[in-house]
A and B are shown apart, each in its own frame.
Chain A
Amino acid sequence: RKEVEQDPGPFNVPEGATVAFNCTYSNSASQSFFWYRQDCRKEPKLLMSVYSSGNEDGRFTAQLNRASQYISLLIRDSKLSDSATYLCVVNGVGPGGYNKLIFGAGTRLAVHP
């Protein structure tokens, strides 16, 4: 089982639509959760951290369910510029005991006019 699993998509939605992405993680000890956005052939950029109580940033809402080890991202009023791959990321521990980030494979979103 992958440490972080996401639906690869693609999600093809019209402008203005609401779209939701889901993610599950396997390590119950994970403490930090993030959504990153990656455009084609570019580096990932932090979209938002995910907090236990859920949090919102403009059109983006993130939710965390620790009991189910489940994270979600909701995008309202989709814009053409939202087209990208969305990466679910959780923290883990590397071989040397260092903290590291574990990335899901990403969910592709394509917003069309």
Chain B
Amino acid sequence: GAVVSQHPSWVICKSGTSVKIECRSLDFQATTMFWYRQFPKQSLMLMATSNEGSKATYEQGVEKDKFLINHASLTLSTLTVTSAHPEDSSFYICSAQKGTSFSYEQYFGPGTRLTVT
């Protein structure tokens, strides 16, 4: 199998605080992990691609200083939302690519629902 976990599953924080979300591949090593954001009734939008041992690559329009990504090991990537604001409230989902899969299949974590008050 290919199991990916995320923690926390939901979080409520006050405006101006920072929130860290962890993404772990439990039974495989993931050289590449991805962070997505999904607003209600909208599609998943890729925020950044995280590669172990190197800097994350951010999609156009995503502020790298606001969304800090650290891919510390082959099984762990973290996303820190700094100085969160209500408009950052969203469903954040990570995924992990198994090995160097030619078919680019990704395995998704269960997501983290962030609410900023």
Chain A residues contacting B45 (CB-CB under 8 Å) are 103
Partner of B104, one of A44, A87, A99: A99
Residue of B nearest to A45 (CB): B108
Contact check, A95 vs B103: say whether CB atoms are below 8 A apart. Answer: no
Q: How far is the CB of A79 from chain B (nearest CB, A)?
A: 23
Contact check, A101 vs B57: say whether CB atoms are below 8 A apart. Answer: no
Bin the interface of chain B by size. Answer: 20 to 34
Please give me the 9 A-B residue pairs with the lowest Cβ-Cβ distance, nearest first. A96-B57, A43-B108, A105-B43, A103-B44, A103-B43, A98-B49, A32-B104, A91-B104, A43-B111
Contact check, A43 vs B109: say whether CB atoms are below 8 A apart. Answer: yes
Contact check, B105 vs A34: say whether CB atoms are below 8 A apart. Answer: yes
Q: How far is the CB of A50 from chain B (nearest CB, A)?
A: 10
Is B8 close to A, CB under 8 A?
no
Is B29 close to A, CB under 8 A?
no
Contact check, B105 vs A94: say whether CB atoms are below 8 A apart. Answer: no
Contact check, A101 vs B46: say whether CB atoms are below 8 A apart. Answer: yes
Question: How many residues on chain A are close to B (CB under 8 Å)?
Answer: 24
Q: Interface code A80-113, partner B: CB below 8 Å = 1, 0 otherwise?
A: 0000000100010011101111111110000000
Contact check, A104 vs B43: say whether CB atoms are below 8 A apart. Answer: yes
Chain B residues contacting A87 (CB-CB under 8 Å) are 43-44
Chain B residues contacting A42 (CB-CB under 8 Å) are 110-111
Chain A residues contacting B110 (CB-CB under 8 Å) are 42-43
Contact check, B108 vs A44: say whether CB atoms are below 8 A apart. Answer: yes
Contact check, A98 vs B32: say whether CB atoms are below 8 A apart. Answer: yes
Q: How far is the CB of A47 from chain B (nearest CB, A)?
A: 12
Is A69 close to B, CB under 8 A?
no
Is A49 close to B, CB under 8 A?
yes
Given A44-B108, A98-B32, A49-B46 contact (CB < 8 Å): no
Q: Give Cα A87 to B110, complex, Å.
A: 16
Contact check, B43 vs A96: say whether CB atoms are below 8 A apart. Answer: no
Q: Give Cα A96 to B110, complex, Å.
A: 26
